[in-house]
Amino acid sequence: MLNLPCIPVAAADRLGTARAKRSLVLKTVIVFSLVPVLFWPVAGPAKTPLVSGPAPDFVLKSSTAQNLRLSEFRGDVVVVNFWSSDCRHCRKQLEHLADIGETNRPNRMSILSVNVDSDSDKARREIAEQALPFPVLFDSQKKVIRLYDPDRLPMTVMIDPHGTVRFIHEGYKNGDEAQYAQEIAELLAE
């Protein structure tokens, strides 16, 4: 008679279940490790950081009815601010940017405010209400904001006179304007 090892049925079931679980875990790991490879062409590469690189150039219609091009401001320190009329923090930040603009009026510093509302009439009402002293550009088709790709609004980009992005601020909280003023002074002193 053959002497075969005897494994109780319950233990065999547990052994089979453990193997099945390991197999499922292994299959899951393999599938999820392939997901980035399978979808990379659709999603595209990760965005490259803008800081220390050239500021992406653009041209947009402004609140003064002129087309303004970022590269035309080469030689100035330029603050590009992206905002929306529905953003409470954006409106508060615009007030402080207006003050910074007035303070630096005699210097070679320009503010370009880019509104990203689909409806530019909302932006025009905000401009009139705040009496903004700098041009507001309208990016209703979202072409320019895609170049800068912020995670949240407002987004403020500080560009040196050579056209290089030096500082980026996403979001806004009270007191940030002191840091903006310091960074602008640093860029003007170069």
Bridge partners of 31, per DSSP, are: none
Cα–Cα nearest to 93, from 179, 6, 188: 179
Residue 17's pLDDT band (cuts 50, 70, 90)? low
Stretch 16-40: mean pLDDT, rounded?
Answer: 51
Residue 2's pLDDT band (cuts 50, 70, 90)? very low
Cα–Cα nearest to 158, from 71, 77, 93: 77
Model pLDDT, residue 50: 83
Model pLDDT, residue 159: 97
| Comparison of pLDDT for 22 and 102, the residue scoring more | 102
Cα 3 to Cα 6, 174, distances in angstroms:
9, 82
**Cα 183 from Cα 167, distance rounded (Å):** 8
**Cα 93 from Cα 105, distance rounded (Å):** 18
Bridge partners of 82, per DSSP, are: 114, 155
| Comparison of pLDDT for 72 and 34, the residue scoring more | 72
Burial of 155 (0-12, 13-18, 19+ CB in 10 A): buried
Cα–Cα nearest to 176, from 165, 164, 187, 168: 168
Task: Name residue 81's amino acid.
Answer: N
Torsion sign (Cα): 116, 120, 121, 123: positive
Those residues with Cβ within 8 angstroms of residue 110's Cβ, 6 or more apart along the chain or in another chain: 73, 76, 77, 78, 79, 134
Q: Are strands 155-159 and 136-138 parallel, antiparallel or unpaired?
A: unpaired
Cα–Cα nearest to 127, from 102, 90, 153: 90
How open is the CA angle 58-150-137, to the nearest 5 degrees? 35
What digits encode the pLDDT tens for the residues 110-153?
999 999 999 888 888 888 888 888 999 999 999 999 999 998 99
Residue 25's pLDDT band (cuts 50, 70, 90)? low
What digits encode the pLDDT tens for the residues 56-90?
999 999 998 899 999 999 999 999 999 999 999 99
